[in-house]
Amino acid sequence: MNVKSEHPHAPAEPTPFLISKKATKNKVCIVLIDSMTLSRESLAYALRQGARDFLIFGLPNSDDFHRIPEVDVVLFNTKKSPLTDQWAMDQINEIRRHNDPPVLVISEAGDIKTAVQTVAKGLRGFIPTTVEIDMLVAAIRVVLAGGIFFPQSIITDYLQHVGDHDADDQVTYLGLTERERAIAERIREGKINKRIAWELSISESTVKVHIRHIMRKLNASNRTQVAFMTQQPALLLKS
């Protein structure tokens, strides 16, 4: 499948099924799933201009996702649809069937509810359509580095929602001990258990026990949720 670009100065969208792994070497392979041709091609064009090392593949849905080699990040534009929508869930499930790459959600619904849905599904971040292209590029690089991205406005809304506390007090408010806070901070940084154990001079099994306690206290089901619920706005890029 090859979607022809209608922009007179935009390069045609690459045909993913004809591109070899060699052609993607030293490139960041990004799949942009967007059901609307105009917005998909416009966003792909803007990303190519904003980051020359990005190789963008635009698809209207996830049907042909499995045919694209070496995917680094998936951008999923849900428009106004909630992530609980059956179509959105089908797209995410299909993506996860193939090496489970990190997924960054783009949505017109820039509210805390959508952000919470993103975390609940174990996705790697959320970005509203109101941000500039430089912010989206930065968000992609955060995800590539193993991080999780949410704009500061979303975190601020979340903190206001749970109570009027500053970022550090918020973690205390959630009932975490000093050791659990230290581990939660490293989870936010995307560090694995072995690294956390080394930095805190404790065993890896002890780290796992603390993480289970953290998840129980926060009612979280995965590390992504822990990272979001203990996130400090100062550590995020501003929107």
In this structure, what DSSP letter does residue 85 have? Answer: S
- Domains in the chain, please, with CATH? 16-149 (3.40.50.2300), 163-235 (1.10.10.10)
pTM: 0.62
Q: What residues are paired with 75 via a beta bridge?
A: 32, 104
Give, in order, the Cα–Cα distances in Å from 63 to each of 18, 70, 87.
16, 17, 12
Which sign, positive or negative, has the C-alpha torsion 156, 160, 163, 164?
A: positive
* Interatomic CA distance for residues 15 and 10, integer angstroms: 15
Segment 89-117, tens digit of pLDDT: 899 999 988 888 999 999 887 777 777 77
8 Å CB contact between 233 and 156:
yes
pLDDT score at 14: 54
Beta strands in the chain (DSSP E): 28-33, 54-59, 73-79, 103-107, 126-128
| pLDDT for the residue 36 | 93
Which pLDDT value is given to residue 91? 93
- pLDDT for the residue 8: 42
> In this predicted structure, what is the pLDDT of residue 238?
31
Q: What is the pLDDT of residue 148?
A: 81
Parts of the chain with a pLDDT under 70: 1-25, 158-175, 231-239
Q: Which residue has the tokens 């489970």?
A: 100
Residue 207: predicted pLDDT: 93
